[in-house]
């Protein structure tokens, strides 16, 4: 994602943005290299560093697609530098999310499990479908597929879709989520249940399908990403949108102006 974001900035995918810094983890073999060259573009004059505070010195917005532990740690540096923060990292724990929430009291933050227009529209459609079908005998299952290197499971997007389905059904996701199935179970599938199924393999960028299954018919709402540039452009749109916003915690629904 870092390379995709750098490439999209340098290609002018979202006008008015400039790459001012690029950060990698300490010990990365990419440290010291030019971010533009690594992204497959001409040299950008921006060298990869492990020093986040130095990278933020010339920045207005930080875009963070790292790991949960790293994102939680970045909060202090972002607040100290007084820069806006776009977070695409998924899999954060409650305590790690609290770091983000506290930062949002000082700087504007966009945090979303997925940055694409299509996925955020899908979440709204899933909520509407669940509201229409709740109590009418439709079971809800969510299937997601990602590449073999993805660490968290289910994906943040799948969880976001589950939350949308739960809202539409007037349920609490933590009460009704079921992650995978194996063995023999007694009795029928509970009515108030949202099943999650994660597939990991190959180079899937990100496929998500929400199934509403009833006796005699089923409805499927799905999104398939074929390029990480989709998420990179969404993150850059969020960065541009945050430019004049007050401190607070925002979502991609805010950025894209989507209405439920």
Tokens 């990403």 belong to 225
As given in the structure block, the two tokens for residue 189 are 């599938």
CB 109 within 8 A of CB 79: no
Q: Which residues of 244-255 are buried (b: 16+ CB within 10 A; e: fewer)?
A: eeeeebbbbebb
Helices and strands per DSSP (H, E), number in the chain? 10, 11
Q: Which of 42, 147, 150, 197 is catalytic?
A: 150
DSSP assignment of 118-142 equals: HHHHHHHHHHHHHHHHTTTT-EEEE
Give the helix/strand (H/E) hosting 112. Answer: none
Query: Contact, 193 vs 139, CB < 8 A?
Result: yes
Which parts of the chain are beta strand (E)?
22-23, 48-49, 61-64, 84-87, 108-111, 139-146, 177-179, 194-200, 206-214, 217-225, 248-250
Residue 189 three-state SS: coil
Active site residue 146: yes
Tokens of 101: 């929430």
Candidate list 146, 197, 208, 223, residue with the active-site label: 146
Q: Which residues contact 58 (CB under 8 A, 6 or more apart)?
A: 20, 21
Chain-centroid distance, C-alpha 17: 21
List the catalytic residues: 146, 150
């Amino acid at each position: 994602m870092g390379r995709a974001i750098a490439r999209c900035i340098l290609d002018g995918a979202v006008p008015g943005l400039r790459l001012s810094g690029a950060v990698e983890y300490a010990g990365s073999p990419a440290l010291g290299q030019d971010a533009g060259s690594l992204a497959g573009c001409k040299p950008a004059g921006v060298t990869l560093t492990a020093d986040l505070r130095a990278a933020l010195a010339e920045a207005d917005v930080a875009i963070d697609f790292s790991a949960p532990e790293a994102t939680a740690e970045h909060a202090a540096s972002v607040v100290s530098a007084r820069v806006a923060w776009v977070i695409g990292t998924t899999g954060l724990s409650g305590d790690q999310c609290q770091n983000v929430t506290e930062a949002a009291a000082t700087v504007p933050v966009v945090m979303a499990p997925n940055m694409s227009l299509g996925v955020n529209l899908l979440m709204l459609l899933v909520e509407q479908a669940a509201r229409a079908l709740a109590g009418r005998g439709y079971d809800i299952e969510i299937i997601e597929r990602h590449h073999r290197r993805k660490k968290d499971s289910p994906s943040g997007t799948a969880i976001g879709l589950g939350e949308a389905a739960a809202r539409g059904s007037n349920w609490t996701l933590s009460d009704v989520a079921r992650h995978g199935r194996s063995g023999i179970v007694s009795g029928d599938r509970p009515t108030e249940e949202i099943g999650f199924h994660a597939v990991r393999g190959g180079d899937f960028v990100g496929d998500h399908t929400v199934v509403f299954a009833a006796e005699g018919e089923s409805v499927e709402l799905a999104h398939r990403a074929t390029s990480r540039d989709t998420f990179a452009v969404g993150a850059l749109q969020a960065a541009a949108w945050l430019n004049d916003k007050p401190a607070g915690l925002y979502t991609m629904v805010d950025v894209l102006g989507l209405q439920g």
